[in-house]
Amino acid sequence: MTLAGTLSLIAEARSSVPIVLFSYLNPLMAAGPDVLHVAARSGVHGVLVTDLPVGADPEREAWLGASPVEFVRLVAPTTPLERMAEIVQHGRGFVYLISRLGVTGVQDAVATDLPETLERLRSVCTLPICVGFGISRPEHARQVGALADGIVVGSALVRAAETSVDDALALVRSLRAALDAVVPA
């Protein structure tokens, strides 16, 4: 799937749910300087560039930050508090908190240190915090949903979609039901 093809599918879907495009920097740069305006017209609300840490490329960060889509930033669980504060100052929309060390993918359990990591991040962040990496089951959604402002599910959804659209929809419905069962703190 190409970036242009993805934007075409997003435009065709006309989703009422906000869409955040996860991408590496290279496809965005290859698509040209207007790609984020095209993305916004297609229905994209935000962009998360997985390989562009704060301070790595100020010119590209300024381009992303000035775009019509929210520039979502990533925070790792090992990020020092001072760096967390710097990262959140350069993001918009929400902050994506990586829930655990290691690679992404379906996991058996939520990281035990997630509550402490969220507490540290909240101490320097006013943006909503969404947690991802390894969230794959309704019980994960319920547990993380009680702590964070949102969840991000990727690998489990892709795995379910590889089986069938119905399996992917069933997973989404089960995660939504689990989130709906969370009692606000």
Model confidence pLDDT, tens digit, residues 55-108: 999 999 999 999 999 999 999 999 999 999 999 999 999 999 998 665 565 556
Nearest to 169 by CA among 181, 179, 157: 157
Look over the chain and give the mean of its residue pLDDT values, rounded to a whole number: 91
The confidence score (pLDDT) of residue 134 equals: 84
Amino acid 89: pLDDT? 94
Which part of the chain is CATH 3.20.20.70? 72-185
Q: Is the CATH code 3.40.950.10 the one for domain 72-185?
A: no
Q: What is the pLDDT of residue 182?
A: 85
110 pLDDT exceeds 80? no
pTM for the full predicted model: 0.90
User: Is it the case that residue 183 has pLDDT exceeding 90?
Assistant: no
- Phi, psi at 104, each rounded to 5°: -75, 165
Stretch 102-115: mean pLDDT: 68
Question: Can you give the three-state secondary structure of 146-165, one letter per residue?
Answer: CCCCEEECCHHHHHHHHHCH
